[in-house]
C-alpha cells in the first residue's frame, strides 16, 4: 500500500486555470485545464472531488494521488482526463484508493500513464473504471496498471497497453469479485500472467476481452491461481509463455466458454498445472477436451477497428470462419460484432471477442436495482424502463437469472408492441420468489430487446451465497404466479406534440447542478418536480402558470446523494418523465 504525506491545507474549489499548482488535500470541482502537481495530492475521508473533462494533472516527480473519500473523474470520448508525469519526468506514483474511499468513486475516459508503483491500487474500495486507457505503467510486484487487493467494482471498455509487473503485467485481482468486460490487453509483460493474474479471487466474470501479444512465463496472457473465474468470449492470440502460452491454471476450477486461443507461441495455449479447468464451445489450437470444442484456424480478418474479426461470406470473404455460430447455444448474446460489415451478432453466439459497434439498438433503457434478499426466500428490487429513443418500439422485456456465471434462464417476460417514446415503467419494491439458494454467485438481470438472444440494454446485480457446496447444473425454476413487474406502463409519460415537450437536462449525468429545458406550446398551469426512484418528492421546481415558449431553470442537487432521479412535468392531464443522473 502506498503512503501519502498529509498536509494541513484546506480543500479548495478549483476553476480551470492553466498551469496552476496542486498539492495536499483536494475537494470540490477541478478543471478543465492543465495543472502541475508539485507534492502528493489526496481526497480526504468524507470529502469529494470532481475532475472535469479536458483536465490534465502533470506530476513533477515520484508523487501520488490518494483517495480516501469520493473521486469522480468522468471525461468524454473526445475530451479525456489525463494523469501523467510532467514533460521530462520519467514517472509518477499512481492512484491509491484507501479502505475509506466510497463506493461512488468513478473513472471514465481517463488516461493513466507512466507510473512506477502501479497505475491504480484498490484496497477494499469499489471504484467503477470504464473507457480508460492504461499505458507504460509498471509495478515491482502486483499489477502494472491496476491492483485490486480486496476491493470490488467493475472494469469495462478499457485499453491496457505495454504495462509490466512481476505478477499480472496489467491487472491483478486478489480476494476480490471484480468483473472485467470489453477490454483489450496488448503488449503487457509479467513472469506470472503476462496481462492478468487472479489470486484467490471469488467468483467473477471475464467477458469479451482481447488478449494480444502479451508475454509471461506462467501464462502468456493470464495466470489463474485458486480463482474460479468465468471466462466468456475472449480471444487470445500472439501471446507467448513457456508454461501456457495463453492460460496457466493452478487450483480451483475456472470455467471458459466461447473462447479462441490461436496463434500463441512458446507452449500449448492452456496449461493446467493443478486443480480443474472446464472449457467448452471454444477453438483451442492443438485441441482441448470439452463439449463443443474445435481445433481449426479461426480465419481472422482485418476490419474497421482491428485485425481479429472473423471471415464471413456475407461480408465478401471467400469462406466463413468455423467460429461463426458455434459458441454455446445457451449463452447470452454478446452486444457487438465479429463481422467486418459491422452487423451485430445474432442467433447462436460466435466464439471469441466481439468488437463494439456504436448505436446498435434503439435507446430503450432498463435499470434493475437491488433492495434486499434473499432472506425469506424473496429478492426485492426496483425496476425502471424507459423508451428514450424518440420513436415507438416493439421489444421484449424480461427478468433472467444465472448461477456461477452460467447461461441465463428467463424467469418472466412481456412483449410490447408500439411502445411510445416517453413511456416508462417505474416499479419500486417489486419482489420475486427464489426459495433457498445454493452456495455460489446468483445473478439477477433485467433485459430489453428480443428475448432471449438480442439484448438492447441490461442491468442487474449479483448475490453471493457463502459456502463451497456448489450445485452443478443448478437452474432457478420460474415461479408460478409471480408478479410481473412489467405490467404497469405509465402511458401519460408521452410528450404529445402541440401540448408540451420536456426537451432535456444538461449536463446529464451532472454534479451538482443541471439545467432543465422545456417548451410550452401554449400558456397554462404547469407542475415540474423531481422524485427519487421510490416515488418520493425530492424537489418541486415549478407549480404555477407559465407563458407559451421556451423555458429553462437550474436544479441544484448539492444536498442529495448520487443516484438516479426522475424529473416529471405535468400540464393538464398529460405528463412526461425523464431521468436525471447525479454523480458526485
Whether the full predicted model's pTM is greater than 0.95, yes or no, is: no
What is the SS3 assignment for 204-253? Answer: CEEECCEEECCEEEECCCEEEECCCCEEECCEEECCEEEECCCEEEECCC
CA dist., res. 67 & res. 506, Å (int) = 28
CA distances from 239 to 135, 153, 214, 223, 258 (A): 18, 27, 5, 13, 18
Cα 197 → chain centroid = 20
**H-only helix segments in 214-371:** none
- Backbone dihedral region for residue 523 (phi beyond 0: left; psi -120 to 50: alpha; all else: beta): beta
Sheet strands side by side (includes 563-571): 537-546, 524-532, 563-571, 574-582
Q: What pLDDT is stored for residue 512 in this prediction?
A: 85
Domain 364-465 has what CATH class? mainly beta
Cell digits for 570? 405535468
Question: Which residue spans within 478-583 are E strands per DSSP?
Answer: 501-506, 513-520, 524-532, 537-546, 549-556, 563-571, 574-582
Tell me the domain boundaries of the chain: 87-296, 364-465, 501-582
Among the listed residues 249, 209, 210, 258, the one whose alpha carbon sits nearest the alpha carbon of residue 229? 249
CA distances from 182 to 206, 209, 552 (A): 9, 5, 38
Q: What pLDDT is stored for residue 2 in this prediction?
A: 27
The CATH number of domain 501-582 is 2.60.120.460:
no
Q: What pLDDT is stored for residue 167 in this prediction?
A: 95
CA dist., res. 453 & res. 214, Å (int) = 32
Domains 364-465 and 501-582 fall in the same CATH topology? yes
Give the mean pLDDT per block of 10 residues along the chain (584 residues). 26 44 93 92 93 94 94 90 93 93 90 94 88 94 92 87 95 88 95 92 86 95 89 96 93 90 95 90 96 97 93 95 95 89 90 82 86 82 87 90 80 90 86 83 87 80 81 81 80 44 66 79 81 80 78 84 80 70 74
CA dist., res. 564 & res. 555, Å (int) = 14
Amino acid at each position: 500500500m502506498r503512503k501519502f504525506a498529509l498536509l494541513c491545507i484546506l480543500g479548495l474549489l478549483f476553476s480551470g486555470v492553466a498551469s496552476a499548482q496542486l498539492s495536499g488535500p483536494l475537494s470540490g470541482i477541478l478543471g478543465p485545464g492543465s495543472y502541475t502537481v508539485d507534492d502528493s495530492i489526496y481526497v480526504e475521508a468524507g470529502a469529494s472531488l470532481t475532475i472535469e473533462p479536458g483536465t490534465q494533472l502533470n506530476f513533477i516527480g515520484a508523487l501520488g494521488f490518494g483517495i480516501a473519500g469520493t473521486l469522480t473523474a468522468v471525461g468524454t470520448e473526445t475530451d479525456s482526463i489525463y494523469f501523467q508525469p510532467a514533460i521530462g519526468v520519467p514517472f509518477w506514483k499512481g492512484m491509491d484508493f484507501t479502505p475509506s474511499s466510497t463506493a461512488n468513486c468513478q473513472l471514465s475516459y481517463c488516461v493513466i500513464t507512466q507510473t512506477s508503483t502501479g497505475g491504480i491500487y484498490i484496497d477494499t474500495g469499489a471504484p467503477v473504471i470504464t473507457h480508460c486507457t492504461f499505458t507504460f505503467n509498471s509495478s515491482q510486484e502486483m499489477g502494472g496498471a491496476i491492483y485490486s487487493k480486496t476491493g470490488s467494482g467493475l472494469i469495462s471498455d478499457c485499453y491496457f497497453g505495454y504495462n509490466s509487473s512481476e505478477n499480472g503485467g496489467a491487472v491483478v485481482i486478489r480476494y476480490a469479485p471484480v468483473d472485467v468486460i470489453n477490454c483489450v490487453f496488448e503488449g503487457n509483460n509479467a513472469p506470472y500472467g503476462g496481462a492478468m493474474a487472479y489470486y484467490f479471487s471469488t467468483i467473477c466474470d471475464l467477458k469479451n476481452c482481447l488478449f494480444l501479444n502479451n508475454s509471461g512465463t506462467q501464462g502468456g496472457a493470464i495466470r489463474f491461481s485458486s480463482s474460479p473465474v468465468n471466462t466468456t468470449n475472449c480471444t487470445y492470440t500472439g501471446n507467448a509463455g513457456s508454461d501456457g502460452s495463453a492460460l496457466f491454471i493452478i487450483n480451483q476450477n475456472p470455467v471458459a466458454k466461447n473462447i479462441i486461443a490461436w496463434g500463441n507461441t512458446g507452449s500449448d495455449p492452456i496449461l493446467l498445472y493443478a486443480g480443474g479447468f472446464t472449457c467448452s464451445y471454444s477453438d483451442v489450437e492443438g485441441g482441448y477436451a470439452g463439449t463443443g470444442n474445435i481445433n481449426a484456424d479461426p480465419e481472422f480478418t482485418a476490419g474497421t477497428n482491428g485485425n481479429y474479426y472473423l471471415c464471413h461470406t456475407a461480408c465478401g470473404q471467400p469462406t466463413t470462419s468455423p467460429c461463426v455460430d458455434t459458441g454455446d447455444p445457451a449463452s447470452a448474446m454478446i452486444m457487438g460484432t465479429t463481422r467486418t460489415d459491422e452487423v451485430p451478432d445474432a442467433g447462436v453466439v460466435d466464439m471469441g471477442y466481439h468488437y463494439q459497434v456504436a448505436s446498435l439498438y434503439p435507446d430503450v433503457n432498463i435499470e434493475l436495482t437491488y433492495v434486499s434478499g434473499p432472506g425469506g426466500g424473496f429478492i426485492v428490487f426496483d425496476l425502471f424502463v424507459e423508451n428514450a429513443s424518440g420513436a415507438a418500439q416493439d421489444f421484449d422485456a424480461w427478468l433472467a437469472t444465472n448461477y456461477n456465471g452460467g447461461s441465463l434462464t428467463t424467469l418472466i417476460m412481456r412483449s410490447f408492441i408500439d411502445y411510445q417514446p416517453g413511456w416508462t415503467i417505474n416499479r419500486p419494491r417489486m419482489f420475486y420468489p427464489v426459495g433457498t439458494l445454493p452456495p455460489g454467485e446468483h445473478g439477477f438481470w433485467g433485459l430489453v430487446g428480443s428475448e432471449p438472444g438480442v439484448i438492447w440494454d441490461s442491468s442487474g446485480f449479483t448475490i453471493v451465497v457463502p459456502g463451497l457446496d456448489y450445485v452443478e447444473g443448478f437452474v432457478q425454476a420460474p415461479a408460478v404466479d409471480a408478479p410481473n413487474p412489467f405490467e404497469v406502463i405509465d402511458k401519460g409519460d408521452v410528450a404529445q406534440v402541440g401540448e408540451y415537450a420536456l426537451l432535456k437536462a444538461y449536463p446529464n449525468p451532472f454534479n451538482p447542478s443541471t439545467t432543465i429545458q422545456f417548451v410550452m406550446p401554449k400558456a397554462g398551469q404547469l407542475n415540474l418536480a423531481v422524485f427519487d426512484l421510490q416515488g418520493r418528492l425530492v424537489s418541486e421546481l415549478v407549480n404555477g402558470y407559465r407563458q407559451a415558449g421556451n423555458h429553462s431553470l437550474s436544479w441544484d442537487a448539492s444536498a442529495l446523494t448520487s443516484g438516479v432521479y426522475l424529473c416529471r412535468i405535468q400540464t393538464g392531464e398529460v405528463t412526461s418523465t425523464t431521468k436525471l443522473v447525479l454523480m458526485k
